[in-house]
A and B are shown apart, each in its own frame.
Chain A
């Protein structure tokens, strides 16, 4: 399946898709898109070896803006579909992407279970704490008190904490990025893709149209980089403590990483013969005879 032709080294622009993004000018998602294209180029990936799977929402348009394989699936289902892609061909680099409503709300169940499964998928959540494509309703990560079209008198609920949720559900790589800090985000995404196991990058990605609370300024005033704080990502307790911060300081970078948990596909004996998508389908005469014999 893999081609033997030597291709020239690829640049970020080689990972640009056929269409230009239709996000609002100033949207945080541009920062993530740039970082993903650069990360793939710098990691030496080839477009056909990468599959980007998204759900529905503004940020879920991401696959169309990449030159890789992609699936633009149903609302909330990016991780489930990405899981299927990875199961069928674990040699592919699989990136799941979407927004906070898609991943932490309607897709919350898949988020928890994909994390504990430790399947080697990188999950990039463009978290703008609002439903943008439906023109501004409360999201699972909206702050308490936030006024939106569906909470005109203020949000009564507390927001989900994606970082602690991922850690508690057994994710082996949990990080946070800020789309206003391109270089740092690039480095975080590269580490996430290189991690052998499930990785989450919660990307603070301001919605300039519908979220006037969590703006670029809001984040710039609060963000501190974990590596500059002397945080050790193998320190689970410290990761959890840092993840609880929000009001005065917000940390970006790698919160938690455990390199010692085997991935799901590493443990699956059926994959010893290579990706199932490449295995010859059907049964051998020997297999067939054994099955029939057991029925007699």
Chain B
């Protein structure tokens, strides 16, 4: 980012030490000042203890990753100091409780150690969380922000808990702010302010909101990290938005309840992670056979099995490609960030209603639990809702056939309750009336006809969604290819590579199925050196790309340690592939994860 302000800081401690609240307060302060941010929270599957490391990056322009550099750390425990103090770049600072934390010795040059006599500053308060508020005061002082800004933010944050709590927090923050003013040196560049205030959301918020905007009337789920945030958003907003939200006994139930609601005419969505999606798969095929529109969301986490529940991965691609028995049509899409996830949910609902088939939105922990700034005007809360060929008014049936063979393959869909159109939606193969052909006489010609009818529905898909396009100089030395959440980090890595004199363009793939094979082949055939960047071990996207295009590529950059790509990981990979390839084994470069969380 070359606009003169790029600031990243982290708050580290154990679960239960209250990291989320200061994180939220700061995020609100930034977006109200019109600043963009991206926050990544590294944590474990534990409610108390463990190690949490929340990184927030602030910029005047859009930021799509938490970046490479850390300028400030608030260490709430010794562990954070020991692990991370060394990552703070020269000119940076470390804030810590000097009563209980010993400064690390492996610091980089010119680091300001901001030890706080917490006992003294908090009048020996027994409330351990107030030290976080003191530290907030220190942080805001170092960032060159007026105290009144923090005072306002704290008042907003705590007003529901009463004036006493507000006063206590404001006083503690003031003490920290004053102490910093007297004892530390603020960063040379003060936190800027831009005219237009922004908003803040997570990817899961965006998925839930996308559903609400798309007219979802029924949301059903079983809690599973990192998809639970969608359920929380939906549950919290359900009554206000007129959405029925139900938590069901398991994901098998969730998917099947979704089928019932979808069939009955309610726009229906369910979100889960890979394990839950595994349980939903039989219902996915049933949605195809019964031609019911339902949107499934798989928020990927590191697998297999229970895996690493709080870490990210792009490891479910082949699961969603092959989910459910049989050979059938589905839509799969992998958005790049929160706003894209919002728009994609909206788009998907119109597509599934049009094509009467299931769709899978493939998110991951990085998007879903990432916190993004967003321009509120960019969120289209009242998009066009197109329910497709839906019969909602009763009348004479005129020989209505639910699964009528049509040129487009799409048969007008009557929903239960509509007079004169009653039929049975079956999971068995059936004829145009919905009558089973698996009993008595199977009729191979009818079977063929029905398979082809369903398949034909998606033949117009490419008219409706955008093909991926090459970004960057056409004649670049390197083309970086990725899907879903890697788009932003690849873009930022390209900037760094350009500064190193390497020209790079990128191809970001979003729509997985149906796949724009022709467009992608056309682009990749012209590229000089193609490297695929993906967040898994075996190169799932590469294998998919090869199966769809027949193309092989020049190399890979893959990461599967649970932590997301940072720009330097991709830069390292590209440089190594272009150089002596010391880090490349069997065509694959695996970047080194420096920050251990």
Contact = CB atoms under 8 A, between A and B. Distances in A.
A277 B468 CA distance: 35
B578 interface: no
B416 A51 contact: yes
A1 B394 contact: yes
Determine which residue in A92, A109, A288 has the highest number of CB atoms from chain B within 10 A of its CB, and name it: A288
A112 B394 CA distance: 36
Contacts of A292: 199, 376, 379, 381
Interface string B195-222: 0011111000100010011111110100
Given A72-B424, A81-B259, A291-B209, A92 B416 contact: yes
B238 interface: yes
A92 B201 CA distance: 38
Interface string A17-56: 1110010000000000000000000000011110101001
Contacts of A278: 265
B498 interface: no
Contact of A64 (B205, B250, B395, B436): B436
Contacts of A273: 242
B73 to A, nearest CB: 27
A276 B217 contact: yes
A237 interface: no
Contacts of A85: 260-261, 263-264, 416
Contacts of B209: 291
Nearest to B213: A283
Interface string B403-442: 0000000000001111111111111100001011001100
B20 interface: no
B262 interface: yes
Contacts of B31: 296
B383 to A, nearest CB: 8
B423 A2 contact: no
Given A277-B217, A292-B376, A73 B256 contact: yes
B263 A80 contact: no
Contact of B376 (A56, A80, A88, A296): A296
B18 interface: no
Contacts of A51: 264, 416
Contact of B260 (A2, A19, A53, A288): A53
Contacts of B382: 282-283, 285, 288
A81 B424 contact: no
A110 B249 contact: yes
B248 A80 contact: yes
Given A81-B256, A270-B243, A72 B379 contact: no
B257 A80 contact: yes
Interface string B374-398: 1010010111010100001111000
Interface in B436-454: 436, 439-440
A13 B268 CA distance: 35
Nearest to A82: B260
B282 interface: yes
A69 B424 contact: yes
Interface string B245-276: 01011101100111111111111100000000
Contacts of B421: 48
Contacts of B200: 295-296
A260 interface: no
B34 to A, nearest CB: 11
Interface string A54-71: 001000010110011111
Interface in A145-201: none
Nearest to B250: A109
Contacts of B433: 18
A82 B425 CA distance: 13
Contact of B244 (A3, A72, A82, A276): A276
A190 B380 CA distance: 49
A81 B197 contact: no
A56 B286 CA distance: 12
Contacts of A281: 214-217, 267, 385, 387
A77 B264 contact: no
B424 A84 contact: no
Interface residues on B, range: 35 or more
Contacts of A56: 427
Contacts of A287: 240-241, 381
B336 interface: no
Interface in B321-379: 374, 376, 379
A122 to B, nearest CB: 15
Contacts of A290: 240
B32 interface: yes
A81 B257 CA distance: 5
B160 interface: no
B450 to A, nearest CB: 15
Determine which residue in B32, B216, B286 has the highest number of CB atoms from chain A within 10 A of its CB, and name it: B286
B218 to A, nearest CB: 6
B241 A283 contact: yes
B531 to A, nearest CB: 37
Contacts of B379: 292
A268 B239 CA distance: 9
B217 to A, nearest CB: 4
B283 interface: yes
B241 A295 contact: no
Determine which residue in A1, A83, A282 has the highest number of CB atoms from chain B within 10 A of its CB, and name it: A282
A48 B418 CA distance: 6
A49 B419 CA distance: 8
Contacts of B393: 1
A260 to B, nearest CB: 23
B540 interface: no
A89 interface: yes
Contact of B435 (A46, A64, A277): A64
Contacts of A68: 422
Given A71-B263, A277-B264, A88 B241 contact: no
Interface string A199-226: 0000000000000000000000000000
A3 B395 contact: yes
B260 A80 contact: yes
Nearest to B201: A295
B290 interface: yes
Nearest to A116: B249
Contact of B419 (A22, A48, A74, A283): A48
Given A74-B427, A113-B253, A270-B243, 15 more contacts: A1-B418, A2-B419, A18-B435, A64-B435, A72-B426, A77-B253, A81-B257, A84-B262, A88-B260, A270-B242, A277-B266, A281-B214, A281-B216, A282-B383, A283-B381
16 contacts: A17-B424, A22-B440, A53-B260, A69-B422, A74-B283, A80-B260, A84-B257, A88-B262, A109-B252, A276-B242, A279-B217, A283-B382, A291-B237, A292-B379, A292-B381, A295-B199
Interface of B: 28, 31-32, 197-201, 205, 209, 212-218, 220, 237-244, 246, 248-250, 252-253, 256-268, 282-283, 286, 290, 374, 376, 379, 381-383, 385, 387, 392-395, 415-428, 433, 435-436, 439-440
Interface of A: 1-3, 5, 17-19, 22, 46-49, 51, 53, 56, 61, 63-64, 67-74, 77, 80-89, 91-92, 109-110, 112-113, 268-271, 273, 275-279, 281-283, 285, 287-288, 290-292, 295-296
For the complex of A and B, the 7 pairs showing the least CB-CB separation, nearest first, are A84-B260, A281-B215, A288-B381, A80-B256, A88-B264, A70-B424, A295-B199
